[in-house]
Amino acid sequence: MPTADRVSLNVATVRTQWSLPECIAGCARHGIGAIAPWRDKLVECGVDEAARMIADHGLRVSGLCRGGMFPAADAAGRQAALDDNRQAVDQAVAIGAACLVLVVGGLPAGSKDLVDAHRQVEDGIGKTLDYARSVGMPLAIEPLHPMYAADRSCINTLRHALDICDALGDGVGVAVDVYHLWWDPELDRQIARAGAQRLLAFHVCDWLVPTTDLLLDRGMMGDGVIDIPRIRAVVETNGFAGDIEVEIFSANNWWTKDPDHVLATVIERCERVV
């Protein structure tokens, strides 16, 4: 089972309790080896200051959350998304992130054209990839659960994400988040298809039954129905050797608790049930 040094704290797990500097210090205090900032927290802290603090505390950066959100109703909106993603790439480089995670976006406002949204996503990733390659920053497409297809991500299976990777070539891979992909009967086969080169990130939490909020009621590992050790074994058998990133959105539970207790629980669950 993963020890604390191999755990990465996605700062969303304690986003209501701690600033990014507090997250960095908390990781160091608990012996957590890596961190995954969100861009709002990064900008709030200051990118250069965050980079300095992360380095001073000896932390790795498993990924920066997030780029993406490519589809838009008009050319100006699509260009704004490209500009924002270029900035996200620069931020990821500045903090030494292993990858920039892409949540690609859903249907543009007023649209029902899913095929066009898929086209805009592939086009946007391709244009961002041209710049990301030039600065050495891998892009990780994160497929989201189909419940988010309309508003957050129209890429909902690992197969679809890897089809885009195949089309675009080197420099783009995938982030495997068990919350979004545990249900997929093709999951093992698609993880094997990805292989070590394209398995860029691995995110864990749990799916609660019942789930009271489809965005803000993720479970701590071991509290739900996902067979996390089995999926971890599959990604590792296929070459993933990176950090185990814990990302929990939990408005009515973990976001209300003492953050040091949350981090201690994260470590205990990673060591016992991940």
Write the single-letter amino acid at 253.
N
Closest CA to 54 of 76, 80, 74, 32: 32
Residue 244 confidence (pLDDT): 98
Bridge partners of 64?
A: 100
> Which token pair is 144?
């989201």
Whether the per-residue pLDDT at 231 is higher than 80: the answer is yes
Residue 152 confidence (pLDDT): 98
Residue 1 confidence (pLDDT): 73
The 10s digit of each residue's pLDDT in 156-211 is 999 999 999 999 999 999 999 999 999 999 999 999 999 999 999 999 999 999 99
The 10s digit of each residue's pLDDT in 76-118 is 999 999 999 999 999 999 999 999 999 999 999 999 999 999 9
The 10s digit of each residue's pLDDT in 15-42 is 999 999 999 999 999 999 999 999 999 9
The total number of structural domains in the chain stands at 1
CATH number at residue 243: 3.20.20.150
171 torsion bin: left (phi>0), alpha (psi -120 to 50), beta (else): left
With DSSP H G I counted as helix, E B as strand and the rest as coil, what are the percentages for the chain, rounded to 5? Answer: 50, 15, 35
What domain range is 54 assigned to?
Answer: 4-272
